[in-house]
Amino acid sequence: MKRPVVLLLGSALGLTVAASPPALAESELIYSLDTTCTIGKGKPQPCQVEALEVGDATEYRHRLGARTISYRILEDPTVRIEGRKSSGDPWSSVRNAWINFNTNQLCFNDRAFCVVNPTFLADVKADAQGPAFDDRQTVGLAFSPSGRVDIACFDDGCRRLLEAIGR
């Protein structure tokens, strides 16, 4: 079930999305993918992504050698994305997310972590209803400290927004 991020994007963008089925109580593997991940300004490196249903969340575990960086999408009380740098760290809300559909790349927290995940992004595009994603190449989201979407932008609008805030 990769639908929670579509709910997140949909709620941010006013899209209509079908309701998700109830969450599972046990962990269930959705898919596994060998791809590349980038940490900060480092070079892309091989990583394995495992997408799992874990309780009421969809969790994405990114294994880079002995290190695992995880992100999860929750729906209750609001749809949000949380991340943690290693399996023992606490979860915290992400500040922002950037999607580049041309490169199949998804980045979090000012590109502190990026992953190439065509499986996930194909599902995001396929499940989005309405014209909001038609011919879009870039989607940006900024989140409040509680994880709620504050700002959403597309394509050139993201560049213009970054210019406006002096980045």
State yes or no: pLDDT of 11 exceeds 60: no
Domain around 39? 3-164
State yes or no: pLDDT of 22 exceeds 50: no
Question: pLDDT band at residue 4, thresholds of 50, 70 and 90?
Answer: very low
State yes or no: pLDDT of 24 exceeds 60: no
Structure confidence at residue 17 (pLDDT): 33
Whether this model's pTM surpasses 0.85: no
Give the C-alpha distances (Å, rounded to integers) separating 127 from 29, 32, 59, 138: 20, 20, 18, 16
Question: Please, how many CA atoms are within 13 Å of residue 41, restricted to the half-sphere of its CB?
Answer: 0
Nearest partner of 69 among 55, 56, 50, judged by Cα: 50
Structural domains counted in the chain: 1
52-91, pLDDT tens digit by residue? 999 989 999 999 999 999 999 988 887 889 999 988 899 9
113-159, pLDDT tens digit by residue? 999 999 889 888 887 767 777 788 999 999 988 888 888 899 999 88
Structure confidence at residue 47 (pLDDT): 97
